[in-house]
Amino acid sequence: MIVADKKPIEEIIETIKDHQSILVLGCNECVTVCEAGGKKEVGILASALRMHFLQQGREVNIAERTLERQCDHEYLEEIRDIIDDYDAVVSIACGVGVQFMAEKYQSKPIYPGVNTLFMGVTEARGVWTERCQGCGQCILASTGGICPVSRCAKRIFNGPCGGSASGKCEVDKELECGWQLIIDRLKALGRMDDYENISPLKDWSTDRAGGPRKVVREDVEL
């Protein structure tokens, strides 16, 4: 899933302080799972904002809504009838949802209510960690299923670097060294001989480096 984290409420207040009527808009997908932008968080944020404006003696209308997804036309269209009741939207979907909203409702101010971080997993209750950076050319087949792009702080393809110590990364003693994980996996798979294959220079043109990416599937297109 796409993992996001809540923005500090002060930052959100600063962006919306001049508006009178605000829609807090959640998303029922990834951000619900990582408990940053689902229906529950919409409720919490909306209450906190109401409380804030009340204390300031200001009458600001704060409405709540959560869509099935904010990254599909279909669901974003559901608010076309009501969007003009508000002079701004705080979207607590990931950055993708915020942008798709902005693209669809050209003249409506849309503000992000979360910081979008990474594609990752729920490692434990309340703990989410990164697994993929969408490099566009997956090489997990040769690294025992562990990604050096997202799990090595230097995205080294022939690791580990000299800073790996007791399984931890040089940047943080709490952080697992991605290359230790790769080696552990290769060992468990009985494939340690593969360790000595040199990974060639990566083609980053499918990555962020190549510019905004696009997938077009003729078999799916209407």
Residue count of the chain, please give it: 222
Separation between Cα atoms, residue 101 and residue 103, nearest integer Å: 5
> Contacts with another protein in 135-154 (CB under 8 A)?
153-154
Number of residues that bind another protein (CB under 8 A): 29
183 binds, among another protein, ligand SF4, none (CB under 5 to 8 A by kind): another protein
Say which residues have a Cβ less than 8 Å from residue 78's Cβ, sequence separation at least 6. 67
Shortest distance, position 45 Cβ to ligand SF4, whole Å: 31
Structure tokens, 130: 């990164």
201 binds, among ligand SF4, another protein, none (CB under 5 to 8 A by kind): another protein
Query: Per CB under 8 A, does 205 bind another protein?
Result: no
Say which residues have a Cβ less than 8 Å from residue 119's Cβ, sequence separation at least 6. 1, 2, 3, 130, 131, 132, 133, 134, 150
Query: Per CB under 8 A, does 51 bind another protein?
Result: no
For 122, other C-beta atoms within 10 Å of its C-beta total 14
Query: Per CB under 8 A, does 196 bind another protein?
Result: yes
Q: What value does the CA radius of gyration of the chain take, rounded to a whole number of Å?
A: 22
For 216, other C-beta atoms within 10 Å of its C-beta total 6
167 binds, among another protein, ligand SF4, none (CB under 5 to 8 A by kind): another protein
Query: Per CB under 8 A, does 166 bind another protein?
Result: yes
Stretch of residues binding another protein (CB under 8 A), selected from 21-29, 107-115, 131-139, 170-178: 170-178
Among 19, 50, 108, 155, binds another protein (CB under 8 A): 155
Stretch of residues binding another protein (CB under 8 A), selected from 43-51, 63-71, 177-185, 211-219: 177-185
Query: What is the dihedral sign for C-alpha 54, 56, 57, 60?
Result: negative
Query: Per CB under 8 A, does 4 bind another protein?
Result: no
Among 33, 157, 176, 185, binds another protein (CB under 8 A): 157
54 binds, among another protein, ligand SF4, none (CB under 5 to 8 A by kind): none
For 105, other C-beta atoms within 10 Å of its C-beta total 16
Query: Per CB under 8 A, does 202 bind another protein?
Result: yes
The answer to whether 186 and 194 are in contact (CB under 8 A) is yes
Interface ranges with ligand SF4 (CB under 6 A): 132-135, 138-140, 147, 149-150, 152-154, 156, 159-161, 163-164, 169-171, 177-179
3-state DSSP assignment of residue 72: coil
First to last CA, the chain: 27
